[in-house]
A and B are shown apart, each in its own frame.
Chain A
Amino acid sequence: MPLTPAVTDLQQLKTHPAIAKLLAWNSAAVEGAKFDRDETTIYIERSWLREACVLLRDDPGCPFNFLSDVTCVDWFPSEPRFEVVYQLLSIPKKERVRLKVRLEGTAPAIDTVTSVWPAANYFEREVFDLFGIRFTGHPYLRRLLMPEDWEGYPLRKDYPVEGYR
């Protein structure tokens, strides 16, 4: 399967059911979209994330009822620095979609989605632990993998591979 170039034009992608649903609900919530290597990515405006997640989860046509994963990518030194990535799966329809939220580098914070999918609990704690992103409203936002008294956020790009000595 030779690679086809990514489609990043929202106009071309607005027929995708999930994107159409989000655009019909609130076009200000969708910042952009991408279709690349058979995977759909939707960029969500950060203040609308939780409502968008509820909408996708409760969509009767294709309910994204399963949160596969939450993670983060650090694009240091460019701004907005962080991209929080949500991988959604619809068990009845066997469809996947990826949501992304861009966050700036200073004091990054975003709404938690634990009220939408309780599965987000550990995933968000892991992202907080390794990237230092605060999830406002999280029921128990403490370090998950690193020791409680650890300094710094190891998966940030400005954190050396060998750690601080």
Chain B
Amino acid sequence: MILNMGPQHPSTHGVLRVILEIDGENVVRIMPDIGYLHTGIEKTCEAKFYQQVVPLTDRIDYLCPLTNNLCYVLAVEKLLGLEIPPKAQWMRVLLNELTRINSHLVWLGTHAMDIGALTVFLYCFREREDILRLFEAVSGQRMMTSYFRIGGLALEPPLDFFEQTRKFADRFPPKVDEYENLLTGNPIWMMRTKGVAKLAPEDAIALGASGPTLRGSGVDFDLRRDIPYSGYENFKFKVPVSQEGDVFARYMCRVQELHESTAIVQQALDGMPEGPIKADAPKVVLPDREKMKTQMEALIYHFKIITEGFAVPEGEVYQAVESPRGEMGYYVVSDGTAKPYRAHMRAACLANMQTLPKMCEGRLLADVIAAIGSIDIVLGEIDR
């Protein structure tokens, strides 16, 4: 029998349609059908100035906007050959780890809800609210932050931002134990997740899986540690790896990442350097408002950047960062003008979703829900 699941199905986290060929309750073949959220962001990028692309990157993966911002600005900074001051780099790391916690909390809440543990959702969203407040304090937006700029940050963080973040980082680890109390040892949770949707490490690599989907299968690879970017080499953290390759293993990886990310946030707060938050590149970075209103030269640069953008030297760059879902990559090609000739996003979820047939075929229909939840899909990123 052919069964159609979605595109409007609560456990598909957006608009994913899955065509299932089933024999009784067993899945024979599974075919994801995507594209319902395709908005042509890559085409839109080609018509914008480089700095105008930053807000578009938020909309790709709406659960980790700052990771997308970071990946894009790093790619353009590499094309320009810009040096970023240490404070901006550390702020970027700090906010990226908060984003990772935020994204994992949404994942944990919805994934547990899909499987039937409704309580965790409310607990997770309680802490997520705190993080969104921090984002709002720093950028003025809860979700579509657009806080990173080519050459640094948009603004200085507000005065009590570090204090509030430290308070959050101090009270967060016990909350993770609270979620674990509800799930990790819970017999129903274990029955629904252990041994379900197994993925062998060689299949995970061959199918292009990355992030916790890859590490849940026992492959010890994390771009933050192995190909560091934006000053991640200055931080000490463990990369959680599980060997089993099932839904429970991926769950354990992400829950431990919550602790590791909190540790990185603490280190970033402890060692936050002083100094400027923008690179010294007047032709690329907008001047301060104060300077713009008092100095002729700054006003001219401001006018030029806003009206004509800035030319980026010819070349091409592939920049990858470890997003909460895996390898997020931006491939930016410049032809020497002020608009990107081509901007392509490598979506971690798109590749991760290719593992779905390997996980589900020959298994029960109910496990499909657990499998989809365990690869943490965001349809905005898949469809772009």
Task: Say yes or no: A69-B205 contact (C-beta < 8 A), given A37-B79, A39-B317.
Answer: no
Write out the residue numbers on chain B whose beta carbons fall within 8 Å of the beta carbon of A144.
34-35
For A94, list chain B residues within 8 Å (CB): 226-227
Q: Are B205 and A91 in contact (CB under 8 A)?
A: yes
In the complex the two chains form, is A37's CB within 8 Å of B35's CB?
A: no
Selected from A37, A118, A130, A147, the residue in CB contact (under 8 A) with B207 is A118
Chain A residues touching B, range: 35 or more
> In chain A between 108 and 132, which residues have their CB closer than 8 angstroms to a CB of chain B?
117-119, 121-123, 126, 130
User: In chain B, what residue has the closest Cβ to A38?
Assistant: B78
Q: Of the 9-residue stretches A10-18, A25-33, A43-51, A60-68, which lies at the interface with chain B? A: A60-68
Extra inter-chain contacts (12) besides given A37-B79, A145-B383, CB under 8 Å = A1-B81, A66-B208, A68-B320, A68-B327, A69-B318, A119-B351, A122-B353, A145-B34, A145-B38, A147-B35, A154-B40, A161-B46
> Is the pair A87, B350 in contact by a Cβ cutoff of 8 Å?
no
Interface check B141, CB cutoff 8 A: no
- CB of B329 within 8 A of CB of A69, answer yes
Q: Which residues of B are interface residues toward A (Cβ below 8 A)?
A: 34-35, 38, 40, 42-44, 46-47, 78-81, 83, 205-208, 219, 221, 226-227, 313, 315-318, 320, 327, 329, 331, 333, 341-342, 344, 346, 350-351, 353-354, 383-384
The DSSP consensus for interface residues of chain B is mixed
- A155 on the B face (CB < 8 A): yes
Contacts of B47 in A (CB 8 A): 161
- Cα distance A132–B80 when bound, in Å? 31
Known: A121-B354, A122-B350. A87 touches B331 (CB 8 A): yes
Query: Which of chain A's residues has its CB closest to B220's CB?
Result: A91
Nearest Cβ in chain A — how far from B291, in angstroms? 25
CB distance from B99 to the nearest CB of A (A): 21
Q: Are B383 and A3 in contact (CB under 8 A)?
A: no
Bits for A133-165, please: 1 = Cβ < 8 Å to B, else 0: 000000000011111000000110001010000
